[in-house]
Amino acid sequence: AQSVTQLDSQVPVFEEAPVELRCNYSSSVSVYLFWYVQYPNQGLQLLLKYLSGSTLVESINGFEAEFNKSQTSFHLRKPSVHISDTAEYFCAVSEVNNAGNMLTFGGGTRLMVKP
C-alpha cells in the first residue's frame, strides 16, 4: 500500500514571493504522481502530473514539480505567487499497473497568499 505525506498543513506567503509545497510518498512499487488544486467550495482540478519521462513537470500557470525517486518526493514550486493562487493543494499517487487506478491523497496544504 502507498501513503502520501504533505508536511505543511498551511503555508502563508506574501504575493510575488516564491513558494514550495512539500510532498513525500511511500510505495513498494512504481507510482504515478499528481498535484491537484481545490479552490473554496469547488472540486479538485489537476495541476500537473508525472507519469514518465522528464522528472520536471510544469503547469500552464507557472507551477512546477520535480519527481525525485531517491528521496521519494514530488515537491511543488512556484517562483512568484499571486493572490489567486490561494487554495488547498493536494499531492496524490497511484500505483503503476494498478487495475483500479486508485488515488491516495496527502492531507493537503493550504496556501494562503497575502498582499
Partner 1 sequence: DTAVSQTPKYLVTQMGNDKSIKCEQNLGHDTMYWYKQDSKKFLKIMFSYNNKELIINETVPNRFSPKSPDKAHLNLHINSLELGDSAVYFCASSLGNQPQHFGDGTRLSIL
Q: What string of DSSP letters covers 39-55? A: -TTS-EEEEEEE-SS-S
Taking the C-alpha atoms of residue 64 and residue 56, their distance in angstroms, rounded to an integer, is: 7
101's grid cell: 487506478
Determine if 89 is a binding residue for partner 1 (CB under 8 A): no
Determine if 101 is a binding residue for partner 1 (CB under 8 A): yes
Stretch that binds partner 1, among 20-28, 66-74, 76-84, 91-99 (CB under 8 A): 91-99
74, β-bridge pairs: 67
Determine if 44 is a binding residue for partner 1 (CB under 8 A): yes
25, β-bridge pairs: 4
Nearer to partner 1, 72 or 108 (CB): 108
Nearer to partner 1, 38 or 73 (CB): 38
Least Cβ distance, residue 30 to partner 1 (angstroms): 11
Determine if 112 is a binding residue for partner 1 (CB under 8 A): no
Indicate the SS3 state at residue 83.
Answer: helix
78, β-bridge pairs: 19
Q: Which stretches of the chain bind partner 1, using CB under 8 A? A: 32, 34, 36, 38, 42-46, 49, 51, 88, 90, 94, 96, 99-105, 107-108
